[in-house]
């Protein structure tokens, strides 16, 4: 994986995903001094053209945990993008200053484009409504850790399946495993058929508008935020927000040992009373974001890594 771009989770396949999981576990067991040598002397650049809390900060924390440094632009309004500088030029410049680059951008295809102009590996930190591959890595790592395996699971993905990019990366990642998936959304936020055309051949996908109808079959309930910023019409957003709320009443209908996940930020789709229950795994999932990103950086940047 040394020197590779991570643009789509499809580039990794099952083998790549499991390599990152194994590296995550290997790093967790390392003495701190050894861990801090993995990316010593290396730097990570970030260019974020959309808001972020976890993705950017967990990349920074991950890079520090393996001994590297980070620099970048968290708010494009304070960069030369404001003066009209092109994405291509910004990426070219960042690739002179750093050893790898994480990009978040509102346009589909932005990371693929950045990888073409960058001399350094590019990691997609979220591109439009298309993909968010490092989120899917932490999502599957969390399922594997919490449920012991991924094969054999029944996963419900709930909420904004039309605009949620984490959903598409998650489906592509799950497509490498033997899982059953229930897609639950309001009618107007159904999965984009053209984006799952290929996955349908590999994944057992069922679609519905009612979480209550399948809740007792699920091992993982993966809840997503309705992506207000992607709605062309704010009235439509008002109509569908709050369509699903996972509260303690829902937990009672869940299978024993089933877990609730969410890429975060959470608005009101999971009530805060769920947070203190054993099913709530979304904060652990965010912690795994830092761990799996450290492993990914070590695999991409470390000298003589596996
Ligand atoms: C997600 C994103 O940016 O797509 N956030 C994240 O990185 N965890 C999900 C979201 O914004 O709803």
Handedness of CA 268, 271, 274, 276 (dihedral sign): positive
Q: Which of 166, 168, 266 to mutate to test the pocket of ligand 1 (most atoms within 8 A of CB)?
A: 166
Give the per-residue pLDDT at 177.
98
| DSSP states along 195-240 | GSTTHHHHSEEEEES-STTTGGG-SEEEE----GGG-S-HHHHHHH
Question: Relative to the CA of 166, which ligand 1 atom is closest?
Answer: 4
Out of 137-141, 221-225, 233-237, 260-264, pick the least confident: 233-237
- Average pLDDT value over all residues in the chain: 96
Q: Whose CA is nearest to atom 8 of ligand 1?
A: 263
Residue 95 to residue 117: CA distance in whole angstroms: 9
Rounded to the nearest angstrom, the distance between the alpha carbon of 304 and the centre of ligand 1 is: 33
Place of tokens 């509260």: 247
**What pLDDT is stored for residue 81 in this prediction?**
83
Please check whether residue 211 is in contact with residue 184, taking contact to mean a CB–CB distance below 8 angstroms. Answer: yes
pLDDT band, very low/low/confident/very high, at 306 (cuts 50, 70, 90)? very low
The active-site residue out of 24, 55, 98, 166 is 55
Give the mean pLDDT of 241-263: 96
Per-residue pLDDT, averaged over 213-218, amounts to 96
Structure confidence at residue 79 (pLDDT): 83
Give the pLDDT confidence of 78-127 residue by residue, as tens digits. 788 888 889 999 999 999 999 999 999 999 999 999 999 999 999 999 99
pLDDT, one tens digit per residue, over 31-70 is 999 999 999 999 999 999 999 999 999 999 999 999 999 9
Ligand 1: atom nearest CA of 50 is 3
Burial (CB < 10 A; 0-12, 13-18, 19+), residue 119, is exposed
Q: Is 83 labeled as catalytic in the residue annotation?
A: yes
pTM over 0.75: yes
The pLDDT of residue 83 is 85
Does residue 304 have a pLDDT over 80? no
| Pocket, ligand 1, Cβ cutoff 6 A | 54-55, 126, 132, 135, 165-166, 225, 263-265
What value does the mean pLDDT take over residues 283-297? 98
Q: What share of the chain is helix, strand, coil (3-state, %, to 5)?
A: 45, 15, 40
């Amino acid at each position: 994986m040394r020197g590779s771009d991570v643009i789509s989770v499809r580039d990794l396949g099952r083998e790549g995903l499991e390599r990152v999981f194994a590296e995550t576990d290997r790093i967790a067991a390392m003495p701190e001094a050894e861990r801090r040598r993995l990316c010593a002397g290396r730097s990570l650049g970030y260019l974020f053209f959309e808001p972020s809390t976890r993705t950017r900060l967990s990349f920074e924390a991950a890079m520090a945990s393996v001994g590297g440094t980070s620099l970048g632009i968290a708010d494009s309004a304070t960069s030369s993008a404001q003066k009209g500088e092109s994405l291509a030029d910004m990426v070219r410049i960042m690739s002179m200053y750093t050893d790898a680059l994480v990009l978040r951008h509102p346009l589909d295809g932005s990371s693929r484009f950045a990888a073409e102009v960058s001399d350094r590996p590019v990691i997609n930190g979220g591109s439009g409504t298309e993909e968010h591959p490092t989120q899917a890595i932490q999502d599957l790592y969390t399922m594997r850790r919490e449920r012991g395996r991924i094969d054999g699971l029944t996963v419900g993905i709930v909420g904004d399946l039309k605009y949620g990019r984490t959903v598409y990366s998650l489906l592509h990642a799950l497509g490498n495993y033997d899982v059953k998936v229930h897609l639950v959304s309001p009618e107007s936020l159904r999965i984009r058929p053209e984006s799952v055309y290929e996955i349908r051949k590999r994944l057992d996908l069922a679609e519905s508008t009612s979480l209550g109808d399948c809740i007792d079959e699920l091992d993982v309930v993966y809840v997503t935020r309705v992506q207000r910023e992607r709605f062309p019409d704010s009235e439509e957003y008002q109509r569908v927000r709050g369509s699903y709320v996972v509260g303690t009443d829902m937990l009672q209908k869940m299978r024993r040992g089933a877990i609730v996940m969410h890429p975060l930020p959470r608005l009101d789709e999971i009530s805060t009373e769920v947070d203190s229950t054993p099913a709530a795994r979304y904060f652990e999932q965010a912690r795994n974001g830092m761990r799996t990103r450290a492993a990914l950086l070590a695999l991409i940047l470390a000298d003589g890594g596996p």
